[in-house]
Amino acid sequence: MNEYPTLPEGLFLRETAHGLVLTDGNLEIGGDFSKNLRRLRQSNLERELIVRACRIRGAEMPLTVVDATAGLGEDSLLLAAAGFKVRMYEYDPVLAVLLADALRRAADDPALAEAAGRMELCPEDSIPAMRKLPFRPDVVLLDPMFPERTKSAQVKKKFQLIHSLEKPCTDERELLDAAKAAGPQRIVIKRPIKGPLLGGVKPDAVYAGKAVRYDVLIFPA
């Protein structure tokens, strides 16, 4: 029998035909990489903002990426499919279990196995981990949960359960400082399109879409 982490009251982990899901009896979420197969086509990948933001001109692939706030791993999957080697950190034990389940299933799927083989999961806090990495990553990806400023009903349904597990990032500067300590050539920060700068730091480049943008900090090689 699988042992799962302790959950907040009213939440449950349930095994389904499509993998492990977190549910409150009404909403449910799980890691299902197969839903992103269309985005993983090479022609589509080249248009993904996150892929463009993480590429380093003139650098040979595979570049190494540390995804410091992996969540359910969708951004990491896009990067891995584009040829990056990705180490994912997720400190919330419930999200880490969901991500590990998605990764196991992807490894058995011929359409996803190659990308999954370039993804490594570390279920721990990335802030202390990035300060003692055994290697120097090319890129660090940050996507801290954005603090809600209002009790808006605009929050997407699939994030409602995540919000009940993880609290928004309140130590933005500490997260950014830890990312810098890892010594990457660039730090890529995912933000809501009109969201404030992470830690108030102005980026060197910005890749913006309709809903999100990627602020890029560039450092000497």
CATH number of the domain where residue 22 is located: 3.40.50.150
pTM of the predicted structure, to 2 decimals = 0.89
Domain count of the chain?
1
Contacts by 144-148 with C-beta closer than 8 Å and gap 24+? Answer: 144/69, 144/168, 144/169, 144/172, 144/175, 144/198, 145/69, 145/169, 146/191, 146/192, 146/195
Whether 5 maps to a domain, the answer reads no
Report yes or no on 1 lying in a domain: no
In a domain, 3, yes or no: no
* Residue 190 located in a structural domain: yes
Task: Give pLDDT tens digits for 169-187.
Answer: 557 889 999 999 999 999 9
Residue 2 lies in a domain: no
Whether residue 38 lies inside any domain: the answer is yes
Helix axes 157-165, 93-107, angle to 10 degrees: 130
Residue 192 lies inside a defined structural domain of this protein: yes
- Helices then strands, counting H and E runs in the chain, come out as 8, 10
Could you read off the pLDDT of 87-135 as tens digits, one per residue?
999 999 999 999 999 999 999 999 999 999 999 999 999 999 999 999 9
Is 170 inside any structural domain? Answer: yes
What is the domain range of residue 161?
A: 12-218
